[in-house]
Structure 1
Amino acid sequence: MYETLLIPTDGSDHARQAAERGFDLAATYGAAVRIVHVIEDPDSGVTVHEYDDQVRDDMERIGERYVDDLVSAAEGCDVAATGEVRHGAAHEEIIAAADDHAADLIVMATHGRTGLEGLVLGSVAERVVRLASVSVLVARPDDESPSSDE
């Protein structure tokens, strides 16, 4: 059913939880996983190419760490995984990565490091769901599951 899953990460716990769900699916279907981290400045609209060299290098290093961490975690689940760091608008780069790698499914968190914990669906996830040409599994963080008042 699935051959390649794309899993975006921003390094947040929510993204990690979504990735773990993706690893479970990949293991079940024998699919490969492609991890992607996108570097952008959502507050100012400035991309990493407009930062000074030190900031750009730091952001690259952090992004590579996020990707490497999840690649290692996937391999620990016996799932073949590779990763990359991209630059640009997050939703556009996630969709482009899915197209570039012929992903059958995108698995991502409802929201990540936005600081807007009250949002049901983050703007990046919402845009990916709306614009992607493949199915998108949007995973709710474990700590936000609906509670029962029984």
Structure 2
Amino acid sequence: MFKHILVPTDGSALSQSSVARAASYAKETQARITLIYAQPEAPSVYAGLGAVSGAHVTQEIQSRLDSGAKDILDAAQAIVAEAGASCERMVLTGTRPYELIIQAAEATGSDLIFMASHGRHGVGALLLGSETQKVLAYSKIPVLVYR
């Protein structure tokens, strides 16, 4: 069976459900869990041709992003603890969450990615794409999709 499960979370209700199910599975199989939050990069603020952003504005944006990531991972870690399992956690920053998820799985030696599918269909899925679909397409590590 799987010994190390990577569980991406974005803080949504479906993602929290996925974390709970992954934690239950990990407890049953004595697997380790690593939670990951794929944090977006802090945007640059511009007005016209010149930047209106100073170092303090960039730091404030980054601080808020970091705080949000911590809150999301704290909530997920509480769900894991409630299920009687334990976990490690990590935040990776970038513009392509699916790549960050795959990188995290490889870096941690995870043998399963356990992630939620937000179930977008039709034009929404076509235009927005799905991080889960991209992980499925590019990962060499097995992916369990929870719905």
Task: Identify the TM-score tier after normalising by the shorter chain.
Answer: 0.7 to 0.9
| Letter matched to residue 48 of structure 1 | A
State whether residues 6 and 112 of structure 2, in contact with CA within 8 Å, keep that contact through their aligned partners in structure 1.
yes
Q: What's 2:80 paired with?
A: 74
Matched, 1:134 2:128: no
The percentage of aligned residue pairs carrying the same residue is 26
Q: What's 2:2 paired with?
A: 2
Q: What's 1:104 paired with?
A: 111
State whether residues 4 and 111 of structure 2, in contact with CA within 8 Å, keep that contact through their aligned partners in structure 1.
yes
Residue 131 and residue 56 in structure 1: after superposition, are their counterparts in 2 closer, same or farther (change >3 A)?
same
Where 1:48 maps in the other structure, the secondary structure is: coil
Residue 135 and residue 49 in structure 1: after superposition, are their counterparts in 2 closer, same or farther (change >3 A)?
same
Q: Deviations over 1:11-67 (max 9, x none)?
A: 100101111111121011100110000112xxxxxx327462111110110111111
Q: What's 2:29 paired with?
A: 29
CA distance in 1, matches of 2:93, 2:65: 10
1:3-22 paired onto structure 2 within 5 Å = 3-22=3-22
1:95 positional shift: 0.4
1:40-59 paired onto structure 2 within 5 Å = 40=40, 47-48=41-42, 50=44, 52-59=58-65
CA distance in 1, matches of 2:44, 2:32: 34
1:72 positional shift: 2.0
Larger of the two Rg values belongs to structure: 2
CA distance in 1, matches of 2:146, 2:125: 14
Q: What's 1:148 paired with?
A: none
Structure 2: 5+ residue stretches without partners: 46-57
Structure 1: 5+ residue stretches without partners: 41-46, 141-150
Structure 1 vs Structure 2 CA RMSD:
2.5
- Structure 2-normalised TM-score? 0.80
Q: What's 1:38 paired with?
A: 38
1:92 aligns with one of 96, 99, 113: 99
